[in-house]
Amino acid sequence: MEHLTRTIPFADLYIAASKETPARFSCSGASGGYEVHIEAGYAGAYGLGERYDALNYLGRSAEIAVEEKFCRQGDKSYCPMPFFWTDAGFGVWLDTARVTRFGFAPGEIVISVPASCEIHIFTGTPQEIVAEYMRLTGAPALPPDWAFEPWISANHWDSRAKLEAALGEAERHGFPVGVAVIEAWSDEATFYTFRSDELWPDPAGMTAWLHERGVHLVLWQIPVYKQLEPHEPRNEQLERDWAEAMERGLCVMNADGTPYRIPEGHWFAGSLVPDFTNPETVKSWFDKRRYLTELGVDGFKTDGGEFILSGEARFFDGTTGVEGRNLYPQLYTRAYTDFLKPGQVLFSRAGYTGAQTTPMLWAGDQLSTFAELKSQLNAGLSASASGVIFWGFDIGGFAGELPEPELYMRSTQLACFSPVMQWHSEPDGGQFKLLQPGMEGNNERSPWNIEKAFGLTGYAEKIRYWHLLRMELLPYIRGQARLCVGRRMPLMRPMAYAFPSDARCAGIDDEYMFGDTLLIAPVTAPGVTSREVYLPAGEWFDFYTGERFEGGRAVNIECAERIPVFSLSGLLRRQG
């Protein structure tokens, strides 16, 4: 594969249209930086990190800036990347952490760059371009086999008793559980000490109890030295942590030498932020968390990280806040990845270039609506187009009123054929009760709670079908996961990526390949009983019935009870 690299600013960067590079590139000075212009005929532009508003960015623009946005992300992203590829056989990556902007007009792409950086111009197929991008930005991490089993989580599990009750319900209803994520386990101050002996007695015994049942334990984390709210009780250990961070320079600082604090109006306002470019910070931070691994904890859910919001911020290694805004999530998750022991996992929300090196990504916070389900599918496919191999989302949505049963079913079906299958829910009453009220009382997004809330006898059994199917698919998913890491390919593959020679695939954003064999056609709107599915050239078989279909055409498939799934050449079929 041809790989061209140039450095900007250029006197006049110009690459003529050719068989190897089917585009014309030029660079010129612009207000506050430079503009790269690319003249090319293309029908699709993909990547740019995890994008919620679209998969194909033709006719759109994107700002590459890490941003924490609670629900309805639109054009915001927890995990943006200055990388894209097109159906015209070329791609671009800007090797910079500064905020950049991309505009994709028909026939022309304009990239705004605030300062000189290295621009990598790729040519080849989407598979070649994404693999080369991943080679340059870091080897992907392979999660342990158990990470592909069903995950369960709910923010209101604030005691061992509630966790055990939830697992008891799962067992009673016949649901397999491979992973339990606990968010409300800590003292809500240091985030490394269990809440209390009364609520969480004998953590080591609890972890052993989970392992005896085949359940792996993942604990929630956040990268702050927390500023307590006025109503929160004093925490002496947190006070010692603050003193250590300021005295030893373990936190991100300002240019004037004062500690950087998360600005007002943002999550964890007033808190200090650990500086993971400082080796002493890394040692102090993980010395306090090492005992969790010794207890048998199987991994961490690394939430947050979108906390650098001032160009005046300064890091130990000389990085400024201008670069730190985008770099920080990767500094944070890289430190945790390095801390992991073999067999542990990381599940992260924010990221940037190189997100494939920090095992698994999830889509963050969405409302329980069909519109948000479509945005989750966009996010998963665009993240995959950007080199993220392992990705998941919250079944039924994280926030607001409980999802309607139809939404929950469609979301479960999508999750069954995603790298991570997980249900999760916000705190009772809402994550931000005044801004976005949620459901009062038990809002757990468990199948049995949906059944109870809507009075639908037998509903949980219908949902169980997809969890049991997930277990049947595990050998395929695990085998494909290993191949994906070795070949530097995503597990979820947009159709334009999987079938680049088929022009019809450039505009398809509601189908994808799940590994080499399965074509998935999710349903992301209410009331759908049949849908059109485009089958590229080849021999396809209905995954459930074995019915044969000749490819190169669209077919209409009944989908009232299940989403359409096809197996290429009949290599994999539903058993029974």
- Positions marked catalytic: 303, 306, 365
DSSP state, residue 341: P
494 contacts: CB under 8 Å, gap ≥ 6: 46, 55, 381, 382, 384, 385, 508, 509, 512
Please compute, for residue 538, the number of CA atoms within 13 A of its CA located in the half-sphere on the CB side. 17
Structural contact between residues 333 and 133, judged by C-beta atoms closer than 8 angstroms: no
CA dihedral 524, 528, 532, 533 (to 10 degrees): 50
Distance from C-alpha of 264 to C-alpha of 336, rounded to nearest angstrom: 27
Distance from C-alpha of 447 to C-alpha of 461, rounded to nearest angstrom: 9
| φ/ψ (deg, to 5) at 565 | -140, 135
Distance from C-alpha of 487 to C-alpha of 178, rounded to nearest angstrom: 27
The sign of the dihedral angle between the CA atoms of 110, 140, 69, 75 is positive
Helices (H), 356-404: 370-385
| φ/ψ (deg, to 5) at 7 | -115, 135
Distance from C-alpha of 412 to C-alpha of 421, rounded to nearest angstrom: 8
Structural contact between residues 114 and 100, judged by C-beta atoms closer than 8 angstroms: yes
Distance from C-alpha of 396 to C-alpha of 394, rounded to nearest angstrom: 6
34 contacts: CB under 8 Å, gap ≥ 6: 8, 9, 27, 28, 112, 113, 115, 116
Q: Which amino acid belongs to residue 283?
A: K
Distance from C-alpha of 307 to C-alpha of 235, rounded to nearest angstrom: 23
Beta bridge partners of 253: 259, 314
Q: Which helix (H) or strand (E) is 152 found in, with range?
A: strand 151-153
Distance from C-alpha of 368 to C-alpha of 411, rounded to nearest angstrom: 10
Instruction: Residue 386: name the closest of 124, 84, 21 by CA.
Output: 84
Q: Which amino acid belongs to residue 382?
A: S
Beta bridge partners of 179: 151, 216
